[in-house]
Amino acid sequence: MVLDKRRAHLLSIIQQSSTPVPTKDLVEKMRVSQRTIYYDIDQINSWLVDQQMEPIESIHGKGVFLSNKSSAKVAVHNTEGFDDWQYQLSRHERELLIKAKILLEEQEASMSSFMEITSMSRGTVAKALKAIKIEFKQHGLDLYYKKGSGYNLSGPEEAKRRVLSDVLSTAFSHKEWLNVRNEIHRMIQPEAEVSSPDTDQRDSVKSLLYEAEKELGLTLTDEMVEILSLQILIIMKRIHLQKVVHVDTEEKEVLQQTEAYQASLLITKKLKDLWGIDFPDNEVCFITMNLLGSKVQHDDFSRYTERELTGLQQVVQRMISDFQTYSCVIFDDRKGLEENLISHIKPTYYRLKYGVRIANELSERIQENYQDIYHLTKRVMLHLEYYVGQPIPDEEIAYITLHFGGWLTKEKKQVETKFKAIIVCENGIGTSNMLRTQLENLIAGLDVVATLSMREFRTTDYDADVIFSTNFIKPKSIPVIHVPAILSNIEKEHVMQRMNELFHTDNRSKSFTDHMLDVIERHATVHEKDDLKRDLVQLLETKSPRTKELRKPMLNELLTEKTIQFKDKVANWEEAIHVAAQPLIDQDSIRSNYVEAMIENVKELGPYIVIAPRIAIPHARPETGVERLGMSLLRLKEPVYFSEQEKHRAQLIIVLAAIDNQTHLKALAQLTEVLSNEENIDRLIAANDSDRVIELINQNVKA
């Protein structure tokens, strides 16, 4: 029987969970009906029985699970690429394989070969080829059919390599595309099918990359090692076909000054010793470009050259300063964030410079879950854009969003350490840090002692009470909790539940939903507690705007008739802050010492609160007198000057009273959206009543 893509994915979710998975959670993750889940499980069980494995079992009130014995066998099928599963490819997978075939096996790129590797009809392949031809043309490549030799591709070798880089990046960004990756590997190295692991060239290349890591003082992500090993095999194949890239002489001189070039020389010299392949200097430089643009798990900041450090440091410092200004927060560990960002932006810079693409499967989820932080990050990216000289793709912005988000969610707290944890995450520095702060803020007393790649985890012993992993790890002596890189409320509930089961934690570690259940049980009899809890979690996450607004209010909830004022003029900027803040004092949102703190900040730090001509946003730290989140606006007809410079005059004084680093971000992002339009600023200054202001906000703000 056939186990199709959806059922393979469903089985993978169940197999990777160390606890029974409720069917409602599967409905949520698979986005299908409960009836479809039950039907799919029946089909999967038939397949499992055919494969002589124990079927999926169900525990009433808890969910479905796979026995350890079956789970281990399914994991082997995963590793082998679903070959025995008769895995059905998605449209994107099929198109990717066709592109790979054209680029890697031009002599065999025929309609029949495309039909064979994709199991598609002639008509469907023809339709896919039409779209691929357009895509290739955008890269400066011409795909054409020649009778007797099949499909041919003409164009610069550099363009072909860029598209190949895209193909590899896309294939590795989808964890479930194992069979696609294996097929691409077979195209690159067909002899690997008959060779033993000891003679597999790819393993030898990986070993050389590990040596290069030591030379460079960094640790590449596991995904990057896989991609780079295939890229080097491709280069060897292209050299054999006498198809070599060209690198500009001036650019070569720059590349030859880098440590990555020395590491590339080390790799290519050893490859020559192993297999007699002579790498032209252009290809050594091409490997250097890819090494420089590779994502890292860890990096040695002290090894950066003065040229790299000076330029990137200035970019990062400006980005952080602007982010603090636009978000109205001050990072406690600014130096740590700076080093963290430089470690990420260094490869980002080289990727953009040399056209090395990375796919970011988390990009959409980051933009959806962290809209406010993404919006603010996008605003500060202009400094990197100026430095690189080109726009920054959304995928790169999303990764940098995780860096800022990780630091924003860090809370200064003195809590006794109860549990030591390690995180196994293969998505690089930013994602690991974001996951770390999510977990440490979620679980009282949790101390993450290390974040590791899967490779580091397998070769290192750590003293820990629990392991959190984004990849499947079979628990041994230390319990494992499997988590996604970005936790939703449902997934946070799952983590809390597992921690409670593992460590019998007390009520202080209970989630908000658990406390709600306690209150409900004091006043009512609950018959299906687990079902009620899951429904409450989903209600709080997706169906309760009131809960969301309490957590992150919208701009029109904070700027109301009671918090908007109009005056012709004030004596000076200090009076402007006093007057603008008065409505928040009247509402008991702030104490008078908060006003003094805002004034002292300007005296000490300068007019940083003037975020643009005519606009000032005074604010101070929450602990200096904020009782609850608030915002107020004072419109002046005559501008007040925060310095002698014309750019530091303001007519819109917007006081922000934040309670933490995050709750105000939605309203603030909406405010900056309104103020990004000069016409809106003119209208706000011309307004004489709060209704006009509120109407303007409502016209420009989306929920």
What is the average per-residue pLDDT within 124-152? 92
What is the average per-residue pLDDT within 253-272? 93
Over residues 193-244, the pLDDT tens digits come to 444 444 478 889 999 999 998 888 888 888 889 999 999 999 999 999 999 9
The region of weakest confidence among 271-280, 426-435, 564-573 is: 426-435
Question: Which of 491, 479, 506, 360 lies closest to 438 in space, CA to CA?
Answer: 491
Cβ-contact 22, 62 below 8 angstroms: yes
pLDDT at 484: 81
Percent of the chain surpassing pLDDT 70: 90
d(CA 2, CA 632): 62
The region of weakest confidence among 322-336, 468-482, 523-537, 642-656 is: 523-537
Q: Which neighbouring-strand residues pair with 635? A: 566, 652
CB < 8 Å & 24+ apart, contacts of 670-673: 670/554, 670/555, 670/697, 670/700, 670/701, 671/555, 671/631, 672/326, 672/375, 672/376, 672/379, 673/375, 673/700, 673/701
Q: How many CB atoms lie within 10 A of CB 666?
A: 23
Above 60 in pLDDT, residue 184?
Answer: yes
- Using pLDDT thresholds of 50, 70 and 90, give the confidence band for residue 25: confident
pLDDT at 682: 93
d(CA 323, CA 400): 12
Binning the chain into helix, strand and coil, the percentages to the nearest 5 are 60, 10, 30
pLDDT at 544: 38
pLDDT at 343: 82
Above 90 in pLDDT, residue 662?
Answer: no
Q: How many CB atoms lie within 10 A of CB 473?
A: 19
pLDDT at 87: 52
pLDDT at 451: 87
Which domains, and CATH codes, for the chain?
5-85 (1.10.10.10), 91-188 (1.10.10), 197-298 (1.10.1790.10), 301-408 (1.10.1790.10), 419-510 (3.40.50.2300), 555-700 (3.40.930.10)
d(CA 160, CA 102): 10
The region of weakest confidence among 27-36, 120-129, 572-581, 619-628 is: 27-36
d(CA 533, CA 381): 41
What is the average per-residue pLDDT within 493-497? 82
**What pTM, to 2 d.p., does this model score?**
0.72
- Using pLDDT thresholds of 50, 70 and 90, give the confidence band for residue 511: low
- Using pLDDT thresholds of 50, 70 and 90, give the confidence band for residue 346: confident
pLDDT at 18: 73
pLDDT at 651: 95
Above 90 in pLDDT, residue 590?
Answer: yes
pLDDT at 334: 87
How crowded is the C-beta side of 276, counted as CA atoms within 13 Å? Answer: 1
d(CA 260, CA 428): 19
**What mean pLDDT value characterizes the chain?**
84
- 673 or 567, which is more confident? 567
pLDDT at 194: 40
pLDDT at 543: 40
Walk across the sheet containing 564-567 and list its strands.
564-567, 630-641, 649-657, 614-616, 610-612
Over residues 279-310, the pLDDT tens digits come to 999 999 999 999 998 888 777 766 666 766 77
pLDDT at 365: 80
d(CA 116, CA 92): 16
What is the average per-residue pLDDT within 349-366? 80
How crowded is the C-beta side of 78, counted as CA atoms within 13 Å? Answer: 19
Over residues 368-425, the pLDDT tens digits come to 888 888 989 999 999 999 998 889 998 889 888 888 888 886 655 455 678 899 998 8
Q: How many CB atoms lie within 10 A of CB 242?
A: 6
Above 90 in pLDDT, residue 582?
Answer: yes
- Using pLDDT thresholds of 50, 70 and 90, give the confidence band for residue 355: confident
What is the average per-residue pLDDT within 23-42? 79
Question: Which of 230, 82, 219 lies closest to 169 in space, CA to CA?
Answer: 230
As a residue count, the chain comes to 703
